[in-house]
Amino acid sequence: MNSFYTAEEIVRLGFKSVGEKVLISKKASIYGASNISIGNNVRIDDFCILSGKISLGSHIHISAYCALYGAKGIILKDYTGLSPRTTIFSAMDDFSGNYLIGPLHPNECTKVTGGVVKIEQFVQVGCGCVIFPNLTISEGSVVGTMSLVNKSLDSWGIYVGVPAKKVKDRDKGLLQFINE
Protein backbone atom coordinates (compact mmCIF):
# COMPACT_ATOMS: atom_id res chain seq x y z
CA MET A 1 0.00 0.00 0.00
CA ASN A 2 1.31 3.42 -0.99
CA SER A 3 1.08 6.08 1.73
CA PHE A 4 0.78 8.89 -0.86
CA TYR A 5 -2.25 9.69 -3.00
CA THR A 6 -1.99 8.80 -6.68
CA ALA A 7 -2.08 11.63 -9.24
CA GLU A 8 -5.69 10.72 -10.02
CA GLU A 9 -6.67 10.82 -6.34
CA ILE A 10 -5.01 14.23 -5.96
CA VAL A 11 -7.08 15.60 -8.84
CA ARG A 12 -10.24 14.28 -7.16
CA LEU A 13 -9.39 16.18 -3.96
CA GLY A 14 -10.41 19.33 -5.86
CA PHE A 15 -7.41 21.65 -5.61
CA LYS A 16 -7.57 25.05 -7.32
CA SER A 17 -4.61 23.87 -9.38
CA VAL A 18 -2.02 21.12 -9.08
CA GLY A 19 1.22 20.50 -10.97
CA GLU A 20 3.19 17.38 -11.81
CA LYS A 21 5.17 15.11 -9.49
CA VAL A 22 3.12 16.03 -6.41
CA LEU A 23 3.15 13.69 -3.41
CA ILE A 24 0.59 14.19 -0.65
CA SER A 25 0.39 11.80 2.26
CA LYS A 26 -2.94 10.11 2.76
CA LYS A 27 -2.50 11.04 6.43
CA ALA A 28 -2.43 14.80 5.69
CA SER A 29 -5.56 16.85 6.39
CA ILE A 30 -6.62 19.22 3.61
CA TYR A 31 -9.46 21.71 4.27
CA GLY A 32 -10.81 23.85 1.44
CA ALA A 33 -8.76 22.26 -1.34
CA SER A 34 -10.46 24.57 -3.86
CA ASN A 35 -8.52 27.47 -2.28
CA ILE A 36 -5.13 25.71 -2.50
CA SER A 37 -2.81 25.75 -5.52
CA ILE A 38 0.22 23.48 -5.79
CA GLY A 39 3.13 23.69 -8.25
CA ASN A 40 5.43 20.94 -9.52
CA ASN A 41 7.65 18.66 -7.43
CA VAL A 42 5.89 19.24 -4.12
CA ARG A 43 5.77 16.78 -1.24
CA ILE A 44 3.46 17.06 1.78
CA ASP A 45 4.21 14.51 4.50
CA ASP A 46 2.16 12.75 7.19
CA PHE A 47 -0.02 14.61 9.68
CA CYS A 48 0.18 18.01 7.99
CA ILE A 49 -2.78 20.39 8.08
CA LEU A 50 -3.42 22.74 5.16
CA SER A 51 -6.41 25.03 5.55
CA GLY A 52 -7.46 28.25 3.83
CA LYS A 53 -5.92 30.23 0.99
CA ILE A 54 -2.56 28.62 0.24
CA SER A 55 -0.31 28.93 -2.79
CA LEU A 56 2.62 26.52 -3.05
CA GLY A 57 5.22 27.05 -5.76
CA SER A 58 7.46 24.29 -7.10
CA HIS A 59 10.22 22.22 -5.46
CA ILE A 60 8.70 22.45 -1.97
CA HIS A 61 8.85 19.97 0.89
CA ILE A 62 6.45 20.29 3.82
CA SER A 63 7.63 17.88 6.52
CA ALA A 64 5.50 15.88 8.94
CA TYR A 65 3.26 17.60 11.47
CA CYS A 66 3.38 21.04 9.82
CA ALA A 67 0.27 23.22 9.99
CA LEU A 68 -0.55 25.99 7.52
CA TYR A 69 -3.55 28.07 8.63
CA GLY A 70 -4.24 30.27 5.62
CA ALA A 71 -7.38 32.23 6.54
CA LYS A 72 -5.73 35.44 5.26
CA GLY A 73 -3.38 33.69 2.82
CA ILE A 74 -0.05 31.84 2.77
CA ILE A 75 2.37 31.89 -0.17
CA LEU A 76 5.42 29.61 -0.40
CA LYS A 77 7.61 30.36 -3.40
CA ASP A 78 9.85 27.88 -5.25
CA TYR A 79 12.61 25.92 -3.49
CA THR A 80 11.28 26.40 0.03
CA GLY A 81 10.92 23.92 2.84
CA LEU A 82 9.24 23.55 6.20
CA SER A 83 10.86 21.21 8.72
CA PRO A 84 8.71 19.06 11.04
CA ARG A 85 6.22 20.71 13.40
CA THR A 86 6.39 24.18 11.85
CA THR A 87 3.18 26.18 12.20
CA ILE A 88 2.22 29.17 10.04
CA PHE A 89 -0.65 31.45 11.10
CA SER A 90 -2.06 34.03 8.68
CA ALA A 91 -4.69 35.11 11.24
CA MET A 92 -4.75 35.36 15.04
CA ASP A 93 -7.26 35.96 17.78
CA ASP A 94 -6.98 38.93 20.14
CA PHE A 95 -5.85 37.52 23.49
CA SER A 96 -6.16 40.82 25.42
CA GLY A 97 -9.20 39.65 27.36
CA ASN A 98 -11.58 42.00 25.53
CA TYR A 99 -12.84 39.32 23.14
CA LEU A 100 -13.75 35.65 23.08
CA ILE A 101 -11.26 33.34 21.40
CA GLY A 102 -11.95 30.66 18.82
CA PRO A 103 -14.09 29.86 15.81
CA LEU A 104 -17.21 28.81 17.75
CA HIS A 105 -18.25 32.33 18.78
CA PRO A 106 -20.14 34.97 16.75
CA ASN A 107 -17.87 37.37 14.83
CA GLU A 108 -18.99 40.35 16.94
CA CYS A 109 -17.59 38.61 20.05
CA THR A 110 -14.15 37.95 18.56
CA LYS A 111 -11.37 40.02 17.05
CA VAL A 112 -9.28 38.24 14.42
CA THR A 113 -6.44 40.10 12.73
CA GLY A 114 -3.76 39.05 10.30
CA GLY A 115 -2.50 39.16 6.78
CA VAL A 116 -0.72 37.16 4.11
CA VAL A 117 2.40 35.23 5.09
CA LYS A 118 4.86 35.19 2.21
CA ILE A 119 7.86 32.85 2.17
CA GLU A 120 10.10 33.71 -0.74
CA GLN A 121 12.42 31.48 -2.82
CA PHE A 122 15.17 29.40 -1.21
CA VAL A 123 13.87 29.78 2.35
CA GLN A 124 14.13 26.91 4.83
CA VAL A 125 12.28 26.96 8.14
CA GLY A 126 13.67 24.76 10.91
CA CYS A 127 11.88 22.25 13.11
CA GLY A 128 9.27 23.50 15.57
CA CYS A 129 9.11 27.10 14.36
CA VAL A 130 6.06 29.35 14.66
CA ILE A 131 5.39 32.03 12.05
CA PHE A 132 2.98 34.88 12.83
CA PRO A 133 0.63 36.58 10.32
CA ASN A 134 1.23 39.46 7.95
CA LEU A 135 4.95 39.12 7.26
CA THR A 136 7.52 38.08 4.67
CA ILE A 137 10.51 35.80 5.07
CA SER A 138 12.66 37.15 2.26
CA GLU A 139 14.61 35.19 -0.34
CA GLY A 140 17.29 32.79 0.82
CA SER A 141 16.81 33.15 4.56
CA VAL A 142 16.91 30.29 7.04
CA VAL A 143 15.02 30.18 10.32
CA GLY A 144 16.63 28.03 13.01
CA THR A 145 14.91 25.33 15.02
CA MET A 146 12.25 26.42 17.55
CA SER A 147 12.30 30.08 16.50
CA LEU A 148 9.40 32.52 16.57
CA VAL A 149 9.04 34.72 13.50
CA ASN A 150 6.91 37.71 14.50
CA LYS A 151 8.17 40.24 11.93
CA SER A 152 9.47 40.22 8.36
CA LEU A 153 12.99 38.92 7.80
CA ASP A 154 15.54 40.31 5.34
CA SER A 155 17.00 38.20 2.53
CA TRP A 156 19.91 35.76 2.78
CA GLY A 157 20.19 35.75 6.55
CA ILE A 158 20.29 33.07 9.23
CA TYR A 159 17.76 33.81 11.98
CA VAL A 160 17.29 32.11 15.35
CA GLY A 161 15.54 32.67 18.66
CA VAL A 162 12.37 33.89 20.30
CA PRO A 163 11.81 36.25 18.63
CA ALA A 164 13.97 35.37 15.63
CA LYS A 165 17.00 37.60 15.18
CA LYS A 166 19.64 37.60 12.46
CA VAL A 167 22.88 35.94 13.58
CA LYS A 168 24.77 36.02 10.28
CA ASP A 169 24.52 36.19 6.51
CA ARG A 170 23.79 33.06 4.46
CA ASP A 171 25.90 32.01 1.48
CA LYS A 172 24.24 32.08 -1.96
CA GLY A 173 26.17 29.06 -3.31
CA LEU A 174 22.99 27.02 -3.76
CA LEU A 175 22.02 29.24 -6.70
CA GLN A 176 24.57 27.38 -8.85
CA PHE A 177 22.20 24.39 -8.91
CA ILE A 178 19.20 26.29 -10.29
CA ASN A 179 18.76 26.00 -14.08
CA GLU A 180 15.87 28.29 -14.79
Mind listing the pLDDT tens digit for each residue in 82-136?
Answer: 999 999 999 999 999 999 999 999 999 999 999 999 999 999 999 999 999 999 9
CA nearest neighbour of 58 among 178, 157, 153, 176 = 178
- pLDDT value of position 137: 98
Whole-prediction pTM = 0.95
Note the residue count of the chain: 180
Taking CA atoms, 23 is separated from 8, 38, 68, 86, 123, in Å, by 11, 10, 17, 19, 20
pLDDT computed for residue 180 by the predictor = 55
Half-sphere exposure for 153 (CA within 13 Å, toward CB): 38
The pLDDT tens digits for 14-60 are 999 999 999 999 999 999 999 999 999 999 999 999 999 999 999 99
Q: How confident is the model at residue 1 (pLDDT cuts 50, 70, 90)?
A: low
- For residues 81 and 124, the answer to whether their CB atoms sit within 8 Å is yes
